[in-house]
């Protein structure tokens, strides 16, 4: 199934769920979609339950405050609606490779290239920034490990301030170096 169509379908389902929030049939059909989606994707019921288990905290956070303010019926209805939509969205993530999503994102941006250029952006620049971000996560994690090691060597307590400040400076320096490297290769 193409990424765009899948995304649109989930978006519409979420929209329907929030527009017809009191409608039992809409809720039931979304749950049917969730169930058949997980079965069709080869996750099976076990996959569905594994996904539900990962959301146990969401369920707790959703249920308790509502039980304070609302009736049990309203609560169960609301919780099952939110869960259905989240499960459906999670199915999208589970069945689509991140690289496919990013490629689809770049394709979707292509026709918008002209208005984007007017504000100083372009589809290429956006996808370059996205891949740079992915690449930067492990780099910053390694900075963090370095900082922690230095702190431990000096017997320092890792307060947020003492950790984030060097992390900021190292990250910004790295960003500057990356920008220089890109400029040297003719990317502006």
Partner 1 sequence: MAMFAALVAVLGQLPAIPLAGGVPITLQTLGVMLAGAVLGPWRGAGAIVLLHLLVAAGLPLLAHGSGGLGVFAGPTAGFALGWIPGAFLVGLITQASWPLRLWRTITGTVLGGILVVYACGLPVMAFQLGLSLQQALLLNLAFVPGDVVKAVIAIMLTHSLARAYPAPFTHARRRRTSRGPAR
Among residues 5, 42, 53, 69, the one that binds partner 1 under rule CB under 8 A:
69
Answer for which of 80, 96, 122, 151 binds partner 1 (CB under 8 A) is 96
Do 132 and 178 meet the contact criterion of CB atoms below 8 Å apart? Answer: yes
Residue 40 or 134: the one with the smaller Cβ distance to partner 1 is: 134
Q: Which of 149, 108, 142 is nearest to 127 (CA)?
A: 108
Contact 172, 140 (CB under 8 A): no
**Do you know the residue count of the chain?**
188
Q: Does 34 bind partner 1 (CB under 8 A)?
A: no
Among 29, 78, 80, 122, binds partner 1 (CB under 8 A): 78
Q: Does 29 bind partner 1 (CB under 8 A)?
A: no
State the minimum distance, in angstroms, from the CB of residue 74 to partner 1: 6
Q: Which pair of structure tokens corresponds to residue 109?
A: 């941006």
Q: Which of 41, 59, 76, 92 binds partner 1 (CB under 8 A)?
A: 92
What are the φ/ψ torsions at residue 168 (nearest 5 degrees)? -60, -50
Judged by CB under 8 A, does residue 23 bind partner 1? no
HEC per residue, 152-164: HHCCCCCCHHHHH
Is position 80 an interface residue for partner 1 (rule: CB under 8 A)?
Answer: no
Token pair listed for 25: 């049939």
Helix (H, G, I), strand (E, B) or coil at 90: helix
CA distances for 59 relative to 11, 47, 55, 88, angstroms: 22, 17, 6, 16
156 lies in the binding site for partner 1 (CB under 8 A): no
Q: Give residues in contact with partner 1 (CB under 8 A).
A: 7, 10, 14, 18, 21, 58, 61-62, 65-66, 69-70, 74, 78, 82, 85-90, 92-93, 96, 98, 101-102, 105, 129-130, 132-137, 139-141, 144, 160-161, 163-165, 167-169, 171-176, 178
């Amino acid at each position: 199934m193409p990424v765009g169509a899948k995304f649109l379908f989930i978006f519409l389902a979420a929209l329907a769920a929030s527009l017809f929030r009191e409608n039992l049939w809409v809720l039931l059909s979304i749950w049917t979609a969730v169930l058949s989606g997980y079965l069709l994707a080869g996750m099976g019921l076990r996959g569905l339950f594994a996904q539900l288990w990962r959301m146990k905290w969401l369920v707790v956070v959703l249920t308790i405050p509502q039980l304070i303010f609302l009736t049990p019926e309203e609560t169960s209805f609301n919780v099952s609606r939110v869960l259905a939509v989240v499960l459906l969205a999670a199915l999208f993530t589970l069945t689509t490779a991140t690289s496919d999503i990013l490629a689809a994102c770049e394709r979707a941006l292509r026709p918008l290239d002209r208005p984007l250029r007017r504000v100083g952006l372009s589809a290429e620049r956006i996808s370059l920034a996205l891949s740079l971000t992915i690449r930067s996560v492990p780099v910053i994690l390694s900075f963090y490990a370095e900082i922690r090691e230095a702190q431990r060597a000096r017997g320092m307590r890792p307060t947020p301030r003492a950790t984030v400040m060097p992390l900021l400076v190292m990250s910004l320096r790295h960003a500057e170096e990356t920008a220089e490297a890109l400029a040297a290769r003719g990317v502006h």
